[in-house]
Amino acid sequence: MLRFLLRRAGLALLVALCVSMLTFALLNITIDPALAMAGEDATDQDIQALRVAMGFDRPAHVRYLDWLQSVLQGDFGVSPYFGLPVSDLIMDRMPVTVTLGALATAFAVIIGVPLGVVAAIYPNTLIDRVSLSVAVFGQAIPNFWFSLMLIILLAVQFPIFPVSGTEGFSSFILPTIVLGTNAIPPIMRLTRTGMLDVLSSDYIRTAWAKGLQPRQVFFKHALRNAIVPVVAVAAIQAANMFGGSIVVEAVFALHGIGMLAYESIQRSDIPTMQAVILIFSLFFIGFSALSDVINAYLDPRIRVS
Amino acid sequence: MADAPFVSVSGLDIDLEVPGGRLHAVRDSSFDIALGETLCIVGESGSGKSMTALGLMGLLPSNAHRSARRLRVGNHDLLSLNRREMADLMGREMAMIFQEPMTSLNPCYTVGNQMSEMLIRHLRMGRRPALTLARDWLDRVGIPPTAGRLDQYPHQLSGGLRQRVMIAMMLMCSPKLIIADEPTTALDVTIQAQILHLLAGLQRELGITMIFITHDLGVVSRIADRVAVMYAGQIVEMGRTREILRDPQHPYTRGLLECVPAPGKTRPGAHLGTIPGTVPSLVGQLSGCGFAGRCPHAAVGCRGEIPALTVRADGRQVRCLFTPDALWSAA
Ligand SMILES: Nc1ncnc2c1ncn2[C@@H]1O[C@H](COP(=O)(O)OP(=O)(O)OP(=O)(O)O)[C@@H](O)[C@H]1O
Ligand SMILES: [Mg+2]
């Protein structure tokens, strides 16, 4: 198990390095950092002077290593648009996004997995149909519309929750529902097909033959096998939600990473963009590593092979 | 059989919903088994042997429908039990060993876990004593207790070992009836004999009533008290082992035995032979004897009605319109 963990961590590190390199290269090819920094009414001379002053005239690989070294020390540079250290911006925006991401992930798993299990235990019944409709609804509904509907209903018509902002836990509830609802359908459907598959397997027949109680058969014997692919998909959904959602953050006026990404792209704010993309990819790498570890714990066959 | 039989099955029908309609996997199957007796069920692949076993255990796939006039095991009327009461019996009073040892254990749990949960469930044992008893049982089925097998996962065991684990697991709660569905078919020939020996030994030692499904006539002659021959979902002949092997009365049984070098003196590993022709479709109703299309003795009457399973003079049951004298001379 230890070897598995070490190998998985090494792989994650390697991927992170590649992503950072790729991000750096792409951003520096598509955008001239000096031009972006100088602003619209700068002269060619100003730009050239800035280029030399900021070291943008050095070869790309030198600048990359330079940047990487600072990043490893927690220094992402200074945002030319905000005029603040990027790390401060990130630290400022991160808590909102992470809170929302964690809540939305929990919401999606808590609703999606049981719905999928129940649908598989009672296939082609009313319960199955209802949970399938929930899945279709969750997939088809646009975020901005769903957000507005919830606000109108639960914040304006019946003022149970605040319309927007980040004051207290209650202001996270509506955005959590909107963001989490997106992740319910894949989780629910995968749980359902996984369970249906497993429930017709030989070892489940054995479990019945042993006279085990239904709850032992369904939850101990079936769910553990069925949940393995769900974990992988839930991890991707989680990474997505931890990376921030521009629409949800915009509608509910939550100033998180999603909005920061939007703003930095609009202003060609390279240091901020680099940091945001790196963090986004780190979430992906981290969550996929986490899902591998969880699955290795769940299924011993993954551990050894 | 003066006493009431331990197992009594009457009029068992099992239909499966398949894309083409309703497949009649088992038709009007009836048999009794006395306490401690071994009944072997033999027949070609697809003749409904597994379905009979699963139907008795209540383990049919979800597309199956079961009906019966009587299903009794011991004092229990299986037809009147609800799911909870049935679960109390399964693994405790009646247990089953499956045809597929490679896939019948849960890959996510250790051998010790899967064995002990049964003792915890039925005998209300604690985890530790349950594990100790599980270890003793592994020893009993020829898995030395030193090897740390209790902490291993199924994928770390060979097919033979998995089947031993299954046998130990299913016998641990001392069931009175064990159904073994071709427990050795999926295993190496060398392992087959060991597993069979093990199972037969335990069955005798514990006085368990057994239903043993097999293709192997050598096995039949060694362990069966009585034999039921199945064809296309029906029992076509049933009786005491010696009589059936020496003097088969249904043309199908005779056909099976003729393929074996020396009928009645079969050795282990001697398999049922093949008979030319194909099994009739099990979807839809039979219009006559299911074997008529392949039977060398078929007459006009055979296609007109389904022969009933009738009791002959020596107590054996045969589903054929004709007696052997009419079919073949005693030469
Ligand atoms: N899950 C299922 N769905 C539909 N039909 C099935 C299913 N399982 C078995 N059958 C069909 O039911 C019939 C009886 O099958 P059964 O498994 O009882 O045969 P068997 O005598 O045990 O054969 P074998 O010796 O190959 O194990 C066969 O025609 C088979 O194709
Ligand atoms: Mg079978």
**Angle at which helices B159-171 and B189-206 cross, to 10°:** 10
Please choose, from the candidates A42, A91, A32, A36, the residue with its C-alpha nearest in 3D space to the C-alpha of residue A63. Answer: A32
Nearest chain A alpha carbon to B91: A210
CB contacts of B57 in chain A (<8 Å) are 209
pLDDT at res. A46: 84
Question: How far apart, in whole angstroms, are the C-alpha atoms of residue B169 and residue B133?
Answer: 10
From-to residues of CATH 1.10.3720.10 in chain A = 86-304
Residues with beta carbon inside 6 Å of ligand 1? B 16, 18, 23, 25, 43, 45-51, 61, 63, 99, 282
- The matching CATH number, chosen from 3.40.50.1980, 1.10.3720.10, 1.20.1600.10, 1.10.1740.10, for A86-304 is 1.10.3720.10
pLDDT at res. B50: 95
User: Across the interface, do B121 and A210 touch by the CB < 8 Å criterion?
Assistant: yes
Q: For B2-32, write each residue's pLDDT tens digit.
A: 578 999 999 999 999 999 889 999 999 999 9
pTM over 0.90: no
State both tokens at B306: 């389904």
In a domain, B302, yes or no: yes
User: Buried b vs exposed e over B23-62: b needs ≥16 C-beta within 10 Å?
Assistant: bbbbbbbbbbbbeebbbbbbbbeebbbbbbbbbbbbbbee
Per-residue pLDDT of chain A (305 residues; tens, 9 = 90+): 788 888 888 888 898 889 888 888 888 878 888 887 777 778 888 888 888 888 888 888 888 998 899 888 888 888 888 889 999 999 999 999 999 999 999 999 999 999 999 999 999 999 999 988 988 888 888 888 898 899 888 888 888 888 877 777 888 999 999 999 999 999 999 999 999 999 999 999 999 999 999 999 999 999 999 999 999 999 999 999 998 888 899 888 888 999 999 999 888 888 899 899 999 999 999 999 999 999 999 999 887 65
Q: How many residues does chain A have?
A: 305
Ligand 1 centroid to residue A248 C-alpha, Å? 54
Residue B317: which domain range? Answer: 7-93+175-261+272-330
Amino acid, res. B79 = L
pLDDT at res. B286: 81
Ligand 2 centroid to residue A196 C-alpha, Å? 22
B276 vs A300, B258, B294, CA distance in Å? 47, 12, 7
The partner residue sitting opposite B105, judged by closest CB among A203, A214, A301, is A203
In a domain, B290, yes or no: yes
pLDDT at res. B1: 47
Residues 287-326 of B with CB under 8 A from A: none
Top mutation candidate among B51, B185, B283 for ligand 1, by most atoms within 8 Å of CB: B51
Phi and psi torsions of B230, nearest 5°: -105, 140
Phi and psi torsions of B317, nearest 5°: -110, 135
Mutation target vs A (from B108, B109, B120; most A CBs, 10 A cutoff): B108
Nearest chain B alpha carbon to A224: B108
User: Across the interface, do A301 and B166 touch by the CB < 8 Å criterion?
Assistant: no
In a domain, B15, yes or no: yes
Question: How far apart, in whole angstroms, are the C-alpha atoms of residue A26 and residue A29?
Answer: 5
> How many C-beta neighbours within 10 Å does residue A25 have?
13
Instruction: Tally the domains of chain B.
Output: 1
Q: How many residues does chain B have?
A: 331
User: Across the interface, do A209 and B92 touch by the CB < 8 Å criterion?
Assistant: no
State both tokens at A34: 């000096």
The partner residue sitting opposite B117, judged by closest CB among A212, A300, A301, is A212
B302 vs B256, B320, B322, CA distance in Å? 20, 8, 9
Phi and psi torsions of B123, nearest 5°: -105, 5
In a domain, B294, yes or no: yes
Question: How far apart, in whole angstroms, are the C-alpha atoms of residue A171 and residue A193?
Answer: 35
pLDDT at res. B330: 42
- The answer to whether residue B153 neighbours chain A at the CB level (below 8 Å) is yes
Question: How far apart, in whole angstroms, are the C-alpha atoms of residue B112 and residue B148?
Answer: 10
In a domain, B100, yes or no: no
Please choose, from the candidates A80, A87, A84, the residue with its C-alpha nearest in 3D space to the C-alpha of residue A37. Answer: A80
| Residues of chain B where predicted confidence (pLDDT) is lower than 50 | 1, 263-264, 330-331
Q: Let me know: does B282 contact B24? Beta carbons within 8 Å.
A: yes
User: Across the interface, do A203 and B106 touch by the CB < 8 Å criterion?
Assistant: yes
Q: For B109-143, write each residue's pLDDT tens digit.
A: 999 999 999 999 999 999 999 999 999 999 988 88
Top mutation candidate among B12, B13, B14, B16 for ligand 1, by most atoms within 8 Å of CB: B16
**Angle at which helices A173-199 and A126-140 cross, to 10°:** 130
Q: Which residue puts its alpha carbon closest to atom 31 of ligand 1?
A: B46
CATH number at residue B230: 3.40.50.300
Q: Let me know: does B39 contact B227? Beta carbons within 8 Å.
A: yes
CB contacts of B153 in chain A (<8 Å) are 300-301
State both tokens at B111: 């051998």
**Three-state SS across B175-241?**
CCEEEEECCCCCCCHHHHHHHHHHHHHHHHHHCCEEEEECCEHHHHHHHCCEEEEEECCEEEEEEEH
Question: How far apart, in whole angstroms, are the C-alpha atoms of residue B310 and residue B100?
Answer: 35
In a domain, B132, yes or no: no
- ipTM value for the complex: 0.90
Q: What is the DSSP letter of B247?
A: S
Q: Is A41 helix (H, G, I), strand (E, B) or coil?
A: coil
| Element (DSSP H or E) covering residue B18 | strand B7-18
pLDDT at res. B270: 53
State both tokens at B296: 């060398």
pLDDT at res. A195: 97
Phi and psi torsions of B32, nearest 5°: -120, 150
Q: Which residue puts its alpha carbon closest to atom 18 of ligand 1?
A: B48
- The answer to whether residue B98 neighbours chain A at the CB level (below 8 Å) is yes
In a domain, B237, yes or no: yes
CA distance B158 to chain A (A): 15
Question: How far apart, in whole angstroms, are the C-alpha atoms of residue A195 and residue A224?
Answer: 9
CB contacts of A205 in chain B (<8 Å) are 59, 98, 104
Q: Which residues contact B248 (CB under 8 A, 6 or more apart)?
A: B237, B254, B256, B257, B263
Q: Which residues contact A96 (CB under 8 A, 6 or more apart)?
A: A166, A249, A254, A255, A256
Nearest chain A alpha carbon to B85: A211
Question: How far apart, in whole angstroms, are the C-alpha atoms of residue A200 and residue A203?
Answer: 9
User: Across the interface, do A202 and B92 touch by the CB < 8 Å criterion?
Assistant: no
Q: Let me know: does A232 contact A291? Beta carbons within 8 Å.
A: yes
